[in-house]
């Protein structure tokens, strides 16, 4: 398809997004003036209350990374050597590494077909007396409907940890991702929708659990119990507090860009959006398409166009293909399929009009060529 846009073929669109300035410097200056830059800065409780309110949870605890949040959540559920944690086979390394940090055994579980939700049959097969927690994962900010496993896990007394690191603003059954399990784990790393550079936060409605996680991540409040120092520094909380005000505008623009690409997709062609329910909304961390035929050819075509899918760009594949997790390999055919069939496209607000138009053109061209093939 002819296009008059001169794109760098190696990297025609930048998938990195940084929000427009929204008063971060003023907020950082206030922290500097206050004189305390540590996790003991006065802004921390303000940031935490604002997070809890924004995402509809009783409590939020800010910490220094998404990895720290996951580790602290696992510790809170007594994940120790000799115990097991169910983890979706679709999980990327950062979701599962904290299980190894605890010295526990990761148990990869397959997802349902064309879905990020855990397969109840596989969950049932892999639950044991040693299972301490199950991680669920709205990857790429796409809703995962976990209703099929809720009863199973409740009967087994196994809590759910949502790794919502990519899912700020994602809605699942009209609730915020990160508020459906016992705890929700968020990252505010630079690649996420809310960025403080490095950082993260936990959401929970369970006050007792929140107190325990706060205690563990804040050196046991130096009252004698064991803890680690996972506190978020004051200036980073200042950045997060201000950038939160921009999140809604960001979500709206991401959705608009995604809808534009989706509206142009030829009906009945080999590409459609990763499915989700009527009461769900992705946050469009990425727009995720799924190829219904010729999956390797379609992935290669996007790669050749400069829109490399995760399966090629990051060699994204089920967790147990990673050397670190090969000892825990198990057959997960649906996760295998999802890794090869999905195409992740950038739709962030910094994309110029012409870039969104160009991505749309490329997507339509590939859909048409692969239909004819």
Ligand X SMILES: *Cc1c(COP(=O)(O)O)cnc(C)c1O
Residue of minimal Cβ distance to ligand X: 66
Q: Give the C-alpha separation, 321 to 117, whole Å.
A: 20
Q: Of 167 and 261, which has the nearer Cβ to ligand X? A: 167
Would you say 316 and 303 are in contact if contact means Cβ atoms under 8 Å apart? no
192 is catalytic: yes
Residue 27 beta carbon to ligand X: minimum distance, rounded to whole angstroms? 21
Q: What is the DSSP letter of 322?
A: S
Q: Catalytic one among 192, 231, 281, 354?
A: 192
| Cα 355 to Cα 3, 12, 39, 99, 303, distances in angstroms | 11, 8, 40, 40, 16
Would you say 204 and 9 are in contact if contact means Cβ atoms under 8 Å apart? no
Q: Give the C-alpha separation, 161 to 181, whole Å.
A: 6
> Which residues here bind ligand X, judged by CB under 6 A?
65-67, 92, 94-95, 163, 165-166, 187, 189, 200
Residue 268 beta carbon to ligand X: minimum distance, rounded to whole angstroms? 33
Q: Of 84 and 162, which has the nearer Cβ to ligand X? A: 162
Q: Of 187 and 286, which has the nearer Cβ to ligand X? A: 187
Q: Give the C-alpha separation, 27 to 237, whole Å.
A: 9
Other residues' Cβ atoms within 10 Å of the Cβ of residue 76: 24
Q: 174 is written with which tokens?
A: 């009209």
Q: Of 126 and 189, which has the nearer Cβ to ligand X? A: 189
Residue 242 beta carbon to ligand X: minimum distance, rounded to whole angstroms? 19
Could you list the active site residues? 192
């Amino acid at each position: 398809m002819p296009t008059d846009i001169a794109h760098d073929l190696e990297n025609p669109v930048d998938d990195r997004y940084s929000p427009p300035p929204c008063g971060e410097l003023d907020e950082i200056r206030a922290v500097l003036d206050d004189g305390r830059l540590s996790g003991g800065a006065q802004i921390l409780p303000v940031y935490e209350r604002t997070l809890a309110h924004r995402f509809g949870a009783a409590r939020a605890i800010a910490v220094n990374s998404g990895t720290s949040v996951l580790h602290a959540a696992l510790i809170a559920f007594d994940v120790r050597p000799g115990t097991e944690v169910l983890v979706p086979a679709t999980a990327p390394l950062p979701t599962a590494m904290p299980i190894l940090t605890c010295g526990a055994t990761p148990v990869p579980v397959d997802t349902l077909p064309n879905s990020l939700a855990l397969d109840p049959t596989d969950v049932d097969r892999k639950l044991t007396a040693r299972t301490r927690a199950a991680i669920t994962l709205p990857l790429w900010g796409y809703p995962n409907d976990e209703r099929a496993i809720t009863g199973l896990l409740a009967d087994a007394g196994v809590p759910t940890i949502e790794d919502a690191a990519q899912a700020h603003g994602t809605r699942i059954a009209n609730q915020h991702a990160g508020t459906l399990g016992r705890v929700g784990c968020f990252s505010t790393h630079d690649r996420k929708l809310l960025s403080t550079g490095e950082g993260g936060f936990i959401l929970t409605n369970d006050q007792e659990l929140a107190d325990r996680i706060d205690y563990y991540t804040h050196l046991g409040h130096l009252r004698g119990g064991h803890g680690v120092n996972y506190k978020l520094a004051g200036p980073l909380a200042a950045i997060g507090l201000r950038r939160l005000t921009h999140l809604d505008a960001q979500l709206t623009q991401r959705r608009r860009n995604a809808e534009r690409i989706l509206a142009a997709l030829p009906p009945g062609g080999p590409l459609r959006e990763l499915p989700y329910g009527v009461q769900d909304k992705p946050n469009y961390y990425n727009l995720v398409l799924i190829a219904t035929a010729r999956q390797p050819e379609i992935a290669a075509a996007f790669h050749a166009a400069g829109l490399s899918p995760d399966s090629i760009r990051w060699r994204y594949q089920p967790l147990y293909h990673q050397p670190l997790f090969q000892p825990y390999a198990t057959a997960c055919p649906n996760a295998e399929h999802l890794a090869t069939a999905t195409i992740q496209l950038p739709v962030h607000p910094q994309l110029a009009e012409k870039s969104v138009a160009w991505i749309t053109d490329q997507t339509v061209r590939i859909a048409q060529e692969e239909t004819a093939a």
